[in-house]
Amino acid sequence: MTRLISKGPGVASSAQSPVVMIVDDDAAIRASLDSLFRSIGLETRLFSSPSELLGGTLPDGPACIVLDIRLPGVSGLDLQGQLTRQGIDFPIVFMTGHGDIPMSVRAMKAGAVDFLSKPFRDQDMLDAVTLALERDTQRRTQSAALDDLRAQYETLTSREREVMGYVTAGLMNKQVAGLMELSEITVKIHRGNVMRKMGVRSLADLVRKAEALGVSQTRGNTEQT
């Protein structure tokens, strides 16, 4: 690797320091990358094989994986597939000394952030890891927001969910009342409860939350997709 003066990654602040997991069977490469990432304040975890990574405790904060594509036994591409099947979606930066176009295409199609051929510049690695950590931070933020939405939705009664389905589909209170065989005033009460429990002040905001939840807006039972 060619050593350059490197700037720290622009990763969003977090209660936990971002972690870079390095998987390479070459101890010298692991040590070099460990030094590089620690020089800009990143925490690192080193693994000599995919089994070591899978057998360890994974970070529960922003993280990414720097992964050699050619490893004894389970390859980097195989590990990428295993992680995907297990629902582990840390961004991956691949590196290889024997890269070719089919490998890089397969890796990128499966969601890799970058594919660097050895020897690579330190700055190129830092840029790739910066992007990977930013993506993971964004993913975690979005996931936390969706969890909060789901928690709000769970507080609704079955009737309130039905009303939510109709009103976010564009029906007026009078129409909803006719479909549900309720009085219009009762629909208004349910609608008010929905707005309060979902933490919104406008129908537009409620529609956006329904879309984020994947709640059907065409059926009264408001199934989640």
> Which pLDDT does position 225 carry in this prediction?
46
- Is the pLDDT at 17 greater than 90? The verdict is no
Question: How confident is the model over 81-139, as pLDDT tens digits?
Answer: 999 899 888 999 999 876 666 777 777 777 788 889 888 999 999 999 999 999 999 98
* Domain 155-213, second-level architecture: Orthogonal Bundle (1.10)
Domain 19-144 carries which CATH code?
Answer: 3.40.50.2300
pLDDT tens-digit map of 6-15: 333 333 334 5
Domain parsing of the chain, residue ranges = 19-144, 155-213
For the stretch 146-179, pLDDT in tens is 989 999 999 999 999 999 999 999 999 999 999 9
Domains 19-144 and 155-213 share a fold: no
Supply the pLDDT for residue 127: 95
Which pLDDT does position 191 carry in this prediction? 95
Segment 180-199 shows an average pLDDT of 95
DSSP string across the chain = -B----PPP-PPP-SS--EEEEE-S-HHHHHHHHHHHHTTT-EEEEESSHHHHHHSPPPSSSEEEEEES--SSS-HHHHHHHHHHTT----EEEEESS--HHHHHHHHHTT-SEEEESS-BHHHHHHHHHHHHHHHHHHHHHHHHHHHHHHHHHTS-HHHHHHHHHHHTT--HHHHHHHHT--HHHHHHHHHHHHHHTT-SSHHHHHHHHHHHTB-SSSTT--B-
Q: Averaged over 69-89, what is the pLDDT? A: 88
**How confident is the prediction for the chain on average, in pLDDT?**
85
Model pTM greater than 0.85?
no
